[in-house]
Structures are given as C-alpha cells and as structure tokens.
Copies of this chain bind each other. A is one copy, B any other.
C-alpha cells in the first residue's frame, strides 16, 4: 500500500506533539521536585542566540500547523506566540493538536500536485508539496521538538529517548 501525504504528515505531527506535551510535563515535574522556578525553564536556551524553550514549542507548533495547512491548501489558525508560562506552553501544544484533529484525509485530496512557496529569510523557496513535507516541514518540526528535549535534559530533567519517541 502506497502512502499519501496525509499519512506522512498528520499522524507524525500528532504523535510528535503528544510526545512534546509529555516531555514538557516531565520537565515541569522535575522543576517542582528540585525547586527550580518553572519560568526559568521556559526561558532557558542552549546558546545565547538560540530560541528559548518557549520559542522551541512555538516553532514546533508552527512547523506542524503550517506544514499541514500549506500541503492541504488550508489557512492555519494564527497563534500570537505570547506564551510566557509553562501552562501556556502546554495549552499551545493542545490547541495545535486540536487544529490537526480538524484536518481529515479528504482535505489532502489533490495535495500531491500542489506547489508550496514560502519566504525564508528574504529568499523565496518553491517546493512540491512532497518535497516541502519531507525536506522542510518534518525535519524542522523534529528539530524543535528535539531541541525542547535537549534543553530540558541540559537543565537536569530525567528524560529518556522513549519520552521523545513514544511507546508503540
């Protein structure tokens, strides 16, 4: 059975966001157990010019919702990137999952023929929908989920690889 762009996007983003929520939860439990102020984690970075944990979660959310919307020819909901607390980050993950839940297989009809154009740092990039998903949206999504994990690990959260991958 061949795969559709739906198969390679919605279930993958959905699972990844679920794991991101789980990772955030374990990070919060770690803060509470060790007396770290959770807002210190929300604002943690791995390098001075990298995004904070909040930025990583916002970017993972954007990669998923714009990824899906661009391929399916929809308009993604706009989220203002104003999360400053741990609870707000979890809400951001939840509302991104809610959005993905509204996009069904039929929304992807004809998506294979779609062209995706986007501006990245002033350059216009053109992709086929397939190439956009495989070489931009998915790697970018996993980049931000992984960096959220790495940030929390670097700050002592007791996470393991299965917290990232999820159980089958």
Contact = CB atoms under 8 A, between A and B. Distances in A.
A143 B168 contact: no
Contacts of A5: 3
A161 B143 contact: yes
Interface string A125-168: 11100110011101110110011011001101000011011101
A103 interface: no
A168 B125 contact: yes
A15, A165, A166 pick with most chain B CB within 10 angstroms: A165
A168 B127 contact: yes
B46 A150 contact: yes
A115 interface: no
B46 A153 contact: yes
Interface of A: 1-5, 7-8, 11-12, 15-16, 46-47, 50, 112, 120-121, 125-127, 130-131, 134-136, 138-140, 142-143, 146-147, 149-150, 153-154, 156, 161-162, 164-166, 168
B112 A139 contact: no
Query: Which 4 pairs from chain A and chain B are nearest by CB?
Result: A2-B2, A142-B142, A146-B146, A3-B3
Nearest to A149: B143
A149 to B, nearest CB: 8
Contacts of A154: 46-47, 154
Contacts of A140: 161, 165
Contacts of A2: 2-4, 112
Nearest to A1: B112
Contacts of A150: 46, 146-147, 150
